[in-house]
Structure 1
Amino acid sequence: MDVNLDGLFRFNDSYDYDDDYTYKDDDPESQSGEDVWIPLVYSAVLILGLFGNGLLLVTLALKKRAWRTSDTFMLHMSVADVLLLVTLPLWAAQATRSCGWCIGLTLCRISAVIFKVNFFCGIFLLAIICLDRYLWLVHAKQLYSHKKPTLVHLSCLSVWVIALLLTVPEWLFMALERHPWKEERTQCVLSLYPADKRLASRLPHHVLSAVAVIVIGFSCATPWLQRPAKTLRKRVVTLILVGVFSLCWIPYNIALVADTFSGAGNTSDGLSGLPQRTSLTVTAALGCIHACLRPLLYFALSGDFRKWTLAALSCVIAEPKGSVWELGVGDDASLEQSPETEELKQIASVEQQVQSKIST
């Protein structure tokens, strides 16, 4: 049997095998999981957060005649959360758009600054609240009083100023870079490749975060050890707020410390730092979730806040007494009700009983 192979050997056109083995970035199966879960998480947080913080701000507006010290702190925390929530659509768009971050470097820097300001406002204000409760429960002293609100406003203003000063690295080093394996995409990242530059820029963040954690931990633990039966309700509310904040933000700070002191990220392509960047992305999303949780915690823990919220939804005027947050910050309890005075009264009564028995 004759086989004609002339046509086979006469075929001289070259074949480009690279076309068959080129990674197709637009293949749906090759899309990163971040393209799916980041928009879903941020969308849910945005909806719940705006609704909850909106009700919180309305509640504060309705009770402005009965304003307390705790309300001032809650106002600033809520404003910081709302600012963070407004930036979430930008981060979600970066994950879904084929071009990545397509809205310019200015918004990139502003979004990063707001993210960091939210964290520092939250942790510093919690530290102040815990410190005030510690001084009252242990030493019968108060930092704040609703009759003298100037110090409260100055403290909150100082927290905002310090938080903004700590965002200087974001203003200087945030940059738009090509994605490591999706070159048509740009991403908004903190461009700190040299290890010494990364450490110098993040050292204030790590040091002040550690100081705030120490203050919160000491202020919360000491009253429980010394006076476990006093003002249980307010301490439980404070501990739950601190616990939820810690669960949401501690993972991000651990990932940030690991990224700061690791040798990854020193190359311009960023491939060696992918695990660190992935962990920072995941833990940052967890930190953003906290922006929608605080109003839910208030609603679950504070009966007065539920009354104010339901009154706001039904357009009914409610008049609860005192602060609706049950934190006890700046409550002008008389010294007769202080823990220290109560102990002195008990000692005096015991001495009187002893003297009366001796005299008889």
Structure 2
Amino acid sequence: MATPSNMEVDLQGLFKDNKTFDYYDYEYKEVVCPSSTVSGALAIFIPLLFSVGLLWGLLGNGLVLVILWHKRLNLSVMDIFIFHLNVSDTLLLLTLPLWAVDAVKGWNMGTGLCKLSGVLFKINFYCGIFTLACISVDCYLSIVRGVPMFSPKKPKVVYGSCLFIWIFCLILSSPDWIFLKHLKDKGECVHFYLPDSWRLASRFPHLVSFVLLVLLFCCFFVLLKLWHDSKCQKKKKGRSTAVTAALVLAFFICWTPYNIAFIVSTAQPLESVSSAGPDECEGRQWTASKITAIFGLLHCIVNPVIYLCLSKEFRRRALTMIKFSACKTDSNEVSLWDSNGVNSNASVQEEQGSLQPINDIKPTIKTGL
């Protein structure tokens, strides 16, 4: 049967630019993820830094706990908050050996310790923010308004607030219990998110807490101004205000680098980390976070230094305990954080203690005459 002329097919244009490809010349480039461990001088410096921090932190925070324990019969509002702040710092201190091993050899301690170290890290961050917020607001109201938010006559309210802070911090750190995982093949302790929406939702409380930290930093300038105010000095709140401002400033300096790295890693979607897949180079987004987390970890050893430098009464009691001698002012009338005592009698007795024997001699001389 003859083929019609209009049915002719021109195949020349289809195969005109067709070329062959030699697959033997293809070079496969494997995606090499950066190591999550340190090397060289850092492999010696970081464990040494954590070891010194652990020893100094246990000594300093332990000293704070002992002094507050001796004063437990009449704790002030600030004493109670600092006690809970010190407990959270001590718990974080116990994880420093795990972080030191992770920096050198990678994480090989299992998923349980991975979750525990991550949760304590976040609890310390949240607990520090909310506790300092309560101390700052109470200090501000007691100075400006003359009516503090918490009263030492109602310690149950203060302890209830601390309990609420701990429960709230445990709830906020629950994503670490859920998503932290030990990847044995990579030797890392990382968050493992299935959908990317879970990653954003779990990090949202941390981002909101960082906003609160910025507000606390702004409150630092207010407290600093009040400290230099003459009215503040007359109300004998200057020293406690200085301690509060120093705690806020130290917390902001130590935790801000980590929060900036945290925000950057949150803004970067997992799909853009590598074309090899979202979980193949998971350690890459943790590189900056682990480096800046060192400052957050070492923050727990800074607070005892602040107490020793700014609190005369705390420094005197600490030196007394180190010398293993009896402390004459273990009475509950003396504040640890104010430059003067809780009441005027305690401050007068402290300032005129050397004149008391002379006052006792005068009645004896009159009687003899």
Query: What's the TM-score once normalised by structure 2's chain length?
Result: 0.73
Question: 272, 281, 302: which is aligned to 1:270?
Answer: 281
Number of residues of Structure 1 aligned to a counterpart in Structure 2: 295
Question: 252, 255, 261: which is aligned to 1:249?
Answer: 255
* SS of equivalent residue, structure 1 residue 175: strand
Per-residue CA deviations over 1:103-144 (Å, capped at 9, x if unaligned) read: 221111011100100111111110101101111222221111
Shift of 1:88: 1.0
Q: Within the alignment, does 1:57 sit opposite 2:65 as a pair?
A: yes
* SS of equivalent residue, structure 1 residue 317: coil
Distance 2:339 2:123 in 1: 23
Relative to structure 1, the CA distance from residue 102 to residue 213 in structure 2 (aligned partners, 3 Å threshold; closer, same or farther) is same
Larger RCO (CA within 8 A; separation ≥ 6): 1
* SS of equivalent residue, structure 1 residue 188: strand
The gaps in structure 2 that reach 5 residues or longer are: 1-31, 345-369
Distance 1:326 1:282 in 2: 37
Question: 285, 299, 303: which is aligned to 2:312?
Answer: 303
Check whether the contact 2:242–2:310 (CA below 8 A) recurs between aligned residues. no
The gaps in structure 1 that reach 5 residues or longer are: 1-22, 334-360
Question: 122, 146, 154: which is aligned to 2:152?
Answer: 146
The 5-angstrom pairing of residues 162-241 of structure 1 reads 162-177=168-183, 185-192=186-193, 194-215=195-216, 217-218=218-219, 220-221=221-222, 224=225, 228-229=229-230, 230-231=232-233, 232-241=238-247
Distance 2:103 2:264 in 1: 24
Q: Within the alignment, does 1:285 sit opposite 2:294 as a pair?
A: yes
Distance 1:255 1:308 in 2: 40
Comparing 282-291 with 58-67, which one deviates more in the overlay? 58-67
Relative to structure 1, the CA distance from residue 83 to residue 223 in structure 2 (aligned partners, 3 Å threshold; closer, same or farther) is closer
Question: 144, 153, 161: which is aligned to 2:167?
Answer: 161
* SS of equivalent residue, structure 1 residue 189: strand
Please identify the structure whose Cα radius of gyration is greater. 2
Check whether the contact 2:220–2:245 (CA below 8 A) recurs between aligned residues. no
Shift of 1:254: 1.1
Distance 1:281 1:327 in 2: 39
What percent identity do the matched residue pairs reach? 37
AA of the residue aligned to 2:135:
I
Shift of 1:322: 3.0
Relative to structure 1, the CA distance from residue 200 to residue 34 in structure 2 (aligned partners, 3 Å threshold; closer, same or farther) is farther
Per-residue CA deviations over 1:273-321 (Å, capped at 9, x if unaligned) read: 62x3221011111111111111111011111001111121122232164
Check whether the contact 2:261–2:292 (CA below 8 A) recurs between aligned residues. yes
Shift of 1:211: 2.8
Query: What's the TM-score once normalised by structure 1's chain length?
Result: 0.74
CA RMSD of aligned residues (A): 2.8
AA of the residue aligned to 1:269:
E
Relative to structure 1, the CA distance from residue 194 to residue 326 in structure 2 (aligned partners, 3 Å threshold; closer, same or farther) is farther
